[in-house]
Chains A and B, each alone.
Chain A
Amino acid sequence: MIGWKNQVRDRLIVVFYVVILLFLIIGYRLISLQIFQHDLYKSKAESQHKGTITIPALRGSIMDRKYVVLANSLALTSITADPTLIKDRHKTAVLLSQILGDSEEVLESKLSAATRFVWIARKLDDDKVKKIMKLELPGIFTMKETTGKRFYPKGELASHILGCTGIDDQGLDGIEAVMDSYLKGKPGKMTAEMDLVGRLIPGGISSLVNATSGYNVVLTIDESIQYIVETALEKAVKAYGADTGSVLVMDAKTGEILALANKPDYKSKDPKSPDYMQLTRNSIVTDAYEPGSTFKVVLAAAALDSGKVGMNDQIQCGDTIQAGGWTLHNANDGFGGNATETITDIIAYSFNTGSVAMGLRMGSKIFYDYIVKFGFGDITGIELPGETEGILPPLKDWSEINLATISFGQGIAVTPLQIVSAVQGSINNGEQMQPRIIRQILDSEGNIVKDFKPEIKSRPISKETSYKINMILRNVVESGTGKKARIPGYLVGGKSGTANVVENGMYAKGKYIASFVGFAPAEDPKFVMLVKIKNPKGTIWGGTVSGPIFSEIGREILWRLGIPPSFPNEVNQMGADPSKNN
């Protein structure tokens, strides 16, 4: 009995020690796993149940001055494929083609790629995504994009201002490119534990960096004025059979751009067409041209402000004038001058000979200094890409013939923006404002981040000279070459210009740029506008071609701005533009 008991006790002791040993082994293993190999197993575990999710950040909106949305982004889903998991590539391609509208061959070649990831369609509408996912095709997946898709709800409106974005919502042109750093958001990142079906496990977020939405950019342009301008310009370019047309409208007091348009537009064109790249250019700022007689505004301002020419001075103004060994003529536009004329009539009838005489009277140095003061030969600094400074020959290269030709706007190349800015400075008490197209930058809650206030860029001429220029330019429209730019009921000032088109460094035969730059109402200008038509068919003169376009657009703008006419009876007698009554 005792022997049996001892045997049991011994066995118990053995079992006890075995259990202790097992516990020690387990303990060692636990210590090894938990302490010595902690990092290794922690990372393995995390890789199995933790995931990093990129939180999309939407690009900010672009709005007009009244906060009308012109561009906005939406977060969309893309369709991807793992070709190795697809059983029937042809069938899959056919089914996808029916929904996506892409060709079956293209889709099938994508699905046959020797890779485990291919994009099938980027940033699709939710409806299409749902339809595709309903098919439950093996190897076809959805992927939420970290950037949105850009939409332009107004279609082609202001396309040269807005520009465009790439597939990843990055700015490529226009405001989209210039303001990209403000517009683009910053995607966030979240690391969290997830369950089997990919849902977040509550409380399992280990790190979170919130996404920051892009700022909204408010432009100075007015949607309704932009629409008026684009509609009228498109109609005019077609009517004159012109190559291109451009219109720029600037607030006469602040320098803010109210509308800017180039036609034909590129958005409706095939990107593969040969002239597509040319049409994408915002020629208002990127292309310099010879301004022709519109540059006489600068000449007159410089002549009067320098005191070299007085309002009542009689200036030589025959049919021809000699300069630098060359004989220069007046344009054959039907306006004949006397032997001498005042500055008012020289500008009103756009006499080249009188202009040359004024230029010669001033001399190169004075004229050049005023040209520089008005900002020619340098970029204006507007927030648009690709701005050119134009071509202003250095003073040392000016001969007498250069002085003479520049006096009537040849031998110098300027951008439409530079001309409009110079005229704005000429009629705004001599205060040339910094041209602007950005008004405000707002955060996603609508708070103002940056406010761009109007600022004076320079004072090229005195207030008194500015009044004189205003009067001279009124006279152009009342009795000179700009009669067709009159707006019934309002006082208008302006200057027409006709210049040769330069192609490959030479004047192209029979090709002209007809332009008109003006402002209204002349007694208290609200806007300055340039209309520029390249190579119109039929008539070529700036006052005849661009004047009526200025009148049509100007009338609508004044009505839209709520500016009452100075002569209501004139409006009542003349009525509206008959061309609108269709």
Chain B
Amino acid sequence: MKLIEMTKDRKMDKKPVFKATANKTEDVVVVSRYAVILTSFTILLITLMSIFYVGICAQNVKSQYNLSRLKEQKANLEKTKLALKLEVSRLNSLERIETIARKELGMAHPPNRLVIDMRNPSVLRASIEDVVAIESYYDEELTSN
């Protein structure tokens, strides 16, 4: 087993700051000041990194919970959107519109309809009397073919 005793020599740079001796032997382990600083710094760094890592993890967990909550919120909003779409469809139903128009607004179908052929008002399509002529035309066409 080893016993360790500390020296107080701080004047010389490369002098040992710690001296460890084995029981009644001359084995001495010399540790420099830099090593102590480096070790302390490393420990500090590891500690800080650990704290940082834990912080990040905590943040991550929090974010994940937030994400989960937002996903649920999104699902609810989508459900609301669907419900609203259905409501729009219901409100747009022709039966409802006609009922409101007739009963609440006192509206009615127009008594007369006026048709104006904007393309050529003076030329109308074939009259009913032309049916016979068309029939004759087909008969002639069929005969000639």
24 residue pairs bridging A and B, Cβ less than 8 Å apart = A72-B89, A74-B79, A74-B86, A75-B79, A153-B89, A154-B90, A155-B95, A157-B93, A157-B94, A199-B68, A202-B60, A202-B63, A202-B64, A227-B95, A471-B134, A489-B115, A523-B126, A559-B113, A567-B125, A568-B115, A568-B117, A572-B112, A575-B112, A576-B113
Q: How would residues 77 to 116 of chain B score, 1 for a CB under 8 Å from any chain A CB and 0 otherwise?
A: 0010011011101101111001000000000111111111
| Interface pairs A-B: 6 shortest CB-CB | A202-B64, A568-B115, A580-B109, A153-B89, A575-B112, A153-B90
Chain B positions within 8 Å of A581 at CB level:
108-109, 111
Counting CB contacts under 8 A, is B61 at the interface?
yes
Q: Indicate if the CB atoms of B112 and A576 lie closer than 8 Å.
A: yes
Asked if A564 is an interface residue, CB under 8 A from chain B, the answer is: yes
Whether A572 and B124, one on each chain, are in contact in the complex, defined by CB atoms closer than 8 angstroms, is no
**B98 CB contacts on chain A under 8 angstroms:** 231
The number of residue pairs between A and B whose CB atoms lie closer than 8 Å in the complex comes to 107
A572 to B117, CA, bound (A): 12
Are the C-beta atoms of B112 and A564 separated by less than 8 Å? no
Is B5 among interface residues, defined by CB-CB distance under 8 A?
Answer: no
Contact of B117 among A311, A471, A564, A575 (CB under 8 A): A564
* Given A464-B142, A571-B113: A69 in contact with B89 (beta carbons within 8 A): yes
Distance between Cα atoms of A523 and B61 in the complex (Å): 73
Do the beta carbons of B86 and A202 come within 8 Å of each other? no
Q: CB-CB < 8 A to A464: which residues of B?
A: 138, 142
List 19 additional A-B contacts (Cβ < 8 Å) besides A157-B94, A202-B65: A69-B86, A69-B89, A72-B86, A151-B86, A154-B93, A231-B95, A311-B139, A471-B134, A471-B135, A478-B131, A491-B128, A491-B131, A559-B113, A565-B115, A568-B117, A571-B113, A576-B111, A578-B111, A580-B109
Q: How large is the interface on B (under 10, 10 to 19, 20 to 34, 35 or more residues)?
A: 35 or more
- A165 is an interface residue with CB less than 8 A from chain B: no
> With A202-B61, A202-B65, A580-B109 known to touch, is A467 a contact of B82 (CB < 8 Å)?
no
Which of B94, B108, B117 counts the most A-chain CB atoms under 10 A from its CB?
A: B94
Which residues of the partner chain B approach A154 to less than 8 Å between Cβ atoms?
Answer: 89-90, 93-95
Q: Which residues of B contact A580 (CB under 8 A)?
A: 108-109
Instruction: Output the least CB separation between B95 and chain A (Å).
Output: 6
Interface of A is mostly: mixed
Contacts of B127 in A (CB 8 A): 567
Instruction: State the Cβ distance, A480 to closest chain B Cβ, in Å.
Output: 13
Q: In the complex, which residue of chain B has the Cβ closest to the Cβ of A521?
A: B125
Interface residues of A in 429-488 (CB under 8 A from B): 464, 467-468, 471, 474-475, 478
Cβ-neighbour of A568 out of B90, B124, B134, B139 (below 8 A): B124
Cβ-defined partner of A224 (8 Å) among B67, B94, B111, B112? B94
Q: Are B95 and A572 in contact (CB under 8 A)?
A: no
- A103 contacts the other chain (CB 8 A): no
| CB–CB B131/A474 < 8 A | yes
On chain A, the residues within 8 Å of B131 by CB distance are 471, 474-475, 478, 491
Output the nearest chain A residue to B87 by Cβ-Cβ distance.
A153
B113 x A199 contact (CB < 8 A): no
Q: B residues within 8 A CB of A475?
A: 131
Judged by a CB distance under 8 angstroms, whether A372 is at the interface is: no
A203 at the interface (CB under 8 A from B): yes
What mask results when residues 188 to 202 of chain A are scored 1 for a CB within 8 Å of chain B, else 0? 000000000001101
